[in-house]
Structure 1
């Protein structure tokens, strides 16, 4: 005998949000299609598609994130695919979340830089759309300025367990060939005036390259600098000034 396919569980979370937003099935499908066009996607969803989602079928690709964005714009609060009872995928609004604290802002931009690195950068697969700025711009306008941005606490690092220490052998070196090893920056390290001066110089360099050759010329070099140099600075220790 052939086994019956597993019965899907109705998506009550999605049903509740559809009722809250006042959407019809056809209306939700139409908005998802329209948002897809903003991101360069030719989608052909209809009311039957929404009925299948309500019955427990999972939409594929970036569709869960598009559906979440439709509800975010309608209800005025940030919703994710999980909030709708859908499988998570790469958000179409990557980097557009409005952070509630400086620490959260560093997490968001750090994730954004990592999405933009490598030959298969996820960020470059997401089309730009001005409409995506609506929610974060609103949150910024009604939000308050941070009262404190200084970081004075050094995070406690817990050593990895069960990793035996490997003894290092002292090897005499020729003094003429000895070089100072570059200091590896890590979380909690104090940011100095020299660090800021170097950051400004690097910024001027990339601005000059952008003016002369366009933004794509040194994009990956800039992303790597931001990820490996600037992000550790932002996670370091520094004062208000």
Structure 2
């Protein structure tokens, strides 16, 4: 099993503890006539990659979506069809773009935490790796990348990301990749990730994605 960094990211973003999530899932289950007795240990297993049975994944989406104030689907928590089959969604559309952003921000956090369990996860290569990055930096013209969210992204935020890219590019030339990489990861977590989850229009969202892609590249 691979660690479920998507679920971990949403749990952290929602501000709920593992025990708290288990309790909320139990209560949500009762509203559907289910008798569930999950504890924090069950959530730990989910984070290690175990997929709970029956309606529980849907209940997790319901609980996290309610806390975050936005729809949360099975793919968002790492329990969708692509996760179950070990595949990667490379289709076009806002869903795949949004999913890639969620995965990227989750991996930035795990990278900064230097989690040893991720070292064994095989890297994504080939088309599955290239296409989402291309779509992130160049969203299709017929795709609406606007997003509701806490706070609003402003043009000043985009300018800040572009200035950061110039700064880290100069740092890379002077000190090399080892010293620069950890600083970029911290910046992505502290500054870029909250903006990607913030509210923005379609036009501003496109600029945001391009500016962030410049940092990642």
Counting helix residues as a fraction of each chain, which structure ranks higher?
A: 2
TM-score of the aligned structures, taking structure 2 as reference length: 0.43
Structure with greater contact order relative to length (CA < 8 Å, sep ≥ 6): 2
The structure whose Rg is larger is 1
